[in-house]
Amino acid sequence: MGTLLLGIFIIVSLVNLLYFFSFFSFATTNTKSKLHPEVAVSVIICAKNESENLKNFLPAILEQDYPDFEVIVINDASTDDTLDVIEEFQKIDPRIQVVDVQNNEAFWANKKYALTLGIKKARNKHLLFTDADCAPQSKNWISEMSRNFQPGNSIVLGYGGYFQHTGSILNKLIRFETLLTAIQYFSYAKLGSPYMGVGRNLAYTSTQFYEMKGFASHLHLRSGDDDLFVNEASTADNTSICFHPDSITRSVPKNSFSDWFHQKRRHVSVAGHYKTKHKVLLGSFYIFRVLFWVLFALLLIFEIQPQIVLGILGLKLVTEAFVYIKAGRKLKENDVVWLFPFFDLFLIFMQMAIFIANLISKPKHWK
């Protein structure tokens, strides 16, 4: 029995290592200079009750060092003074275009409906999306993201991180989980199987949007305007990744575990609508992580070849550390990678709790 258990543990460990070997494709990739296509860009921001965030972060968009761009700011049926704030900015900068969305019975509180109106308003073919609580970390954000609209590329996946709060373990956990997610979607895109992007930093062409009939296939779902669209539209040939330091955006993280937990519930519920191959890929990654730690604990409890078991753990941790350190440097998340063994275990239990919670009740969606 002990030999069988050890054999299963070795197989599970090899699968875990295989996943992280696949992540090397992103972790070891260097940023390459690309010719600038000099395309006109429409930056699109959807704002619902975001007056304060717009005051804080919209100036960083307007200060971009790029020759030809407009900013479409969508007031998505806000109940605060969001519309007033947008209109005040418009008086100062004519590059701002306002879309004022009123709730209606068919599309009540549906962000995809609001985004569709914003896309229709855009005068440019190349669209760059971010959120109202996001700020580009460089004046070259538009420039770096738009560089990736090379011939044949209609979708660009960027990195949307979170601001650092010194001394907060929750902040480090949120940023680590965001880093792990980015490692996955960047790596799989590099390997020719793009499956998601984040609306905090995402670009695609209006041509691609209209070819997919917009969000029609998942309009009934309140979330997924970013990852479900990418999951459906992206291919190995039309998708590019952008992780240049100047292309990064950062947004305001949740400041309570409860709020973050509910946010992750929404994200996980949407993932159930991914293509089957991606659900299998992501589901297997989680299952084999769980199996590793369960088998690891059993083998140590029953004292079955502890030296071999600990040696395998060491190999696993060294491999993962290499990936996290390399990726953390690329995406400017160096301070969170050293806690990865603890965060990894915590996220396993949290994902299990999310799965159970979503079985019991559906999560709430777009504000």
Query: 241-280 pLDDT, tens per residue?
Result: 999 999 999 999 999 999 999 999 988 889 989 999 999 9
Would the pLDDT of 104 be above 80?
A: no
Q: Is the pLDDT of residue 367 over 60?
A: no
CB 131 within 8 A of CB 58: no
- Provide the token pair at 103: 């709730």
Mean pLDDT of 89-97: 97
Main-chain dihedrals φ then ψ at residue 80, nearest 5 degrees:
-105, -155
Tell me the pLDDT tens digit for each residue of 346-363.
999 999 999 899 888 776
276-301 and 169-190 helices, crossing angle to 10°: 120
Contact of 36 with 65, CB cutoff 8 Å: no
Task: Please identify which residue in the block is written with the tokens 């059993």.
Answer: 298
Mean pLDDT of the chain: 94
How distant is the alpha carbon of residue 319 from its chain centre? 23
CA distance 200 to 82: 19
340: left (phi over 0), alpha (psi -120 to 50) or beta: alpha
- CA–CA separation, 209 and 263 (whole Å): 26
Residues with Cβ < 8 Å from 211, sequence gap 6 or more? 233
Model pLDDT, residue 359: 86
Residues 42-79: pLDDT tens digits?
999 999 999 999 999 999 999 999 999 999 999 999 99
Sequence-distant (6+) residues with CB within 8 A of 255 are 165, 170
Range ranked top by mean pLDDT from 25-29, 96-100, 215-219: 96-100
Among left, alpha and beta (phi > 0; psi -120 to 50; other), residue 224 is: left
CB of 281 closer than 8 Å to CB of 192: no
**Structure confidence at residue 30 (pLDDT):** 85
- Residue 107 confidence class, pLDDT cut points 50, 70, 90: low
* pLDDT grade for 365, boundaries at 50, 70 and 90: low
Given the structure tokens 């459906």, which residue do they identify? Answer: 232
**Per-residue pLDDT reduced to its tens digit, 165-197:** 989 999 999 999 999 999 999 999 999 999 999
Q: Express as a percent the part of the chain with pLDDT over 70.
A: 96
Q: For residues 209 and 253, give the distance between their C-alpha atoms in angstroms, rounded to a whole number.
A: 29
pLDDT tens for each residue of 132-142: 999 999 999 99
| Helix residue ranges per DSSP H, 122-256 | 141-146, 169-190, 206-211, 227-233
Nearest alpha carbon to residue 312 among 6, 3, 1: 6
Whether 230 and 197 have beta carbons less than 8 Å apart is answered as: yes
pLDDT band at residue 364 using 50, 70 and 90 as cut-offs: low
**Gyration radius of the chain's alpha carbons:** 21
What is the reported pLDDT for 33? Answer: 64
CA distance 40 to 193: 28
Instruction: Report the candidate in 151, 263, 124 with the shortest Cα–Cα distance to residue 200.
Output: 263
d(CA 124, CA 146): 12
126 φ/ψ angles, rounded to the nearest 5 degrees? -95, 120
DSSP code per residue over 85-152: HHHHHHHH-TTEEEEEE---STTTT-HHHHHHHHHHH-SSSEEEEEETTEEESSTTHHHHHHTT--TT
